[in-house]
Structure 1
């Protein structure tokens, strides 16, 4: 399985220690200042892309010297730096793309970046957003298995389509059977698994799976 990791320009305090993901990641891509973050974690990015307007000339030289490929784009462009990085990643035909540094900071950027998971879903690529408190991925109708995590104990389901029809949760503290939820529903927030694995299934809609935790000061495994 080919896995690619992209690091964006989100707040550094929300980006976990990236070294714990290095052993199973094939390619690292840094978007704008995200390329510098990759290097600061002791990893050489294969690609550094963006307008690099968030780093100074000295930092830009560090990125240029450590990245296998360094490509600059104008500040005024139709795509964000993250979208450019995603296009590069998708061109390499991966099965999974991990996204770091894409939450926190500006809310418009964070919401748009979460919606980019839909673009990946339609290309049959599993997109996973990870920060120090959350792990997010988008799902389509069908049956899905979810594993228990001591690091991210809370599990929430948030509809990204207007309605999600026939949601069933098995192996959860708060089970559901053939329930419909819609935008604004809080029915499926802060659930937990009662064993190591559980399942969720639904017939129609798009559902965001969020594993989360309260803020603490330790590193984040997968």
Structure 2
């Protein structure tokens, strides 16, 4: 399919705008999409965060419901990601995934780091992506650009305020925090020569 899917969680405060994207709801995200007048392709979860009990006859036409018990091994977000992958969507954007409870945020980061490398975590001020070997661009629209190695990695940073050339970094290193695109450039380049690295982009103060 190669079409973006935006999964809206209950903590989403803004809906990401992606060209030609479909939307789906994670649990109480169903109410957020309803308030925005958007019909999700599916809604997934135990629906314990809804303000009102789920009423099948009040659902938008065309929205499939994937209902699960509250006591389960997977999070609602993970189940929604799995369904998006099964349907062939890419990339999958998890909106509101960096807000709310810290344990849920950490769980989402772990899903990105170890299970779903094409996932994008996003809220209205920041996002996280996983960078694997290859060349990647970052935009000057982001004020703060930080990198965190998930395993021993080698990176080069070009057109960045703090450049690096084939620098080895480990999961213990944090000096790659708070970089930015160099003045006079619209984009910077991150080359991952080996390993895998979390990229955090933020416009928060």
Could you state the TM-score of these two structures normalised by the residue count of structure 1?
A: 0.82
Coordinate RMSD, CA, aligned: 2.1
Q: Conserved in 1, the CA contact under 8 Å of 2:150 and 2:196?
A: yes
Which residue in 2 is equivalent to 1:154?
144
1:56-110 alpha-carbon deviations (Å, 9 max, x no partner)? 435x338952261123211112211111101110011122111112222222211
Q: Conserved in 1, the CA contact under 8 Å of 2:9 and 2:28?
A: yes
SS at match of 2:34: helix
Paired residue for 2:129, among 137, 150, 153?
Answer: 137
Take 1:52 and 1:191, find their aligned partners in 2: how far apart are those partners? 39
What is the CA distance between 1:120 and its match in structure 2? 2.1
Take 1:113 and 1:176, find their aligned partners in 2: how far apart are those partners? 29
1:9-57 alpha-carbon deviations (Å, 9 max, x no partner)? 33x4xx32x1x516431x2111111121122222111101111111243
For structure 1, the residue ranges without an aligned partner over 5 or more in a row are 216-222
What is the CA distance between 1:210 and its match in structure 2? 1.2
Which residue in 2 is equivalent to 1:92?
87
For structure 2, the residue ranges without an aligned partner over 5 or more in a row are none
Which residue in 1 is equivalent to 2:197?
207
Take 1:110 and 1:91, find their aligned partners in 2: how far apart are those partners? 23
Q: Cα 1:134–1:22, aligned 2, differ >3 Å: closer, same or farther? A: closer
Take 2:160 and 2:18, find their aligned partners in 1: how far apart are those partners? 32
Take 1:56 and 1:173, find their aligned partners in 2: how far apart are those partners? 46
- Structure 2 residue 157 is the aligned partner of structure 1 residue 169: yes
Take 1:186 and 1:22, find their aligned partners in 2: how far apart are those partners? 31
Paired residue for 2:71, among 76, 94, 108?
Answer: 76
- Structure 2 residue 115 is the aligned partner of structure 1 residue 119: yes
Q: Conserved in 1, the CA contact under 8 Å of 2:139 and 2:187?
A: yes
Q: Conserved in 1, the CA contact under 8 Å of 2:4 and 2:18?
A: no
Q: How many residues align?
A: 200
Q: Conserved in 2, the CA contact under 8 Å of 1:181 and 1:187?
A: no
SS at match of 1:116: helix
Q: Conserved in 1, the CA contact under 8 Å of 2:27 and 2:45?
A: yes
Which residue in 2 is equivalent to 1:21?
17
- Structure 2 residue 172 is the aligned partner of structure 1 residue 184: yes
- Structure 2 residue 33 is the aligned partner of structure 1 residue 43: no
What is the CA distance between 1:131 and its match in structure 2? 0.8
Take 1:37 and 1:159, find their aligned partners in 2: how far apart are those partners? 34
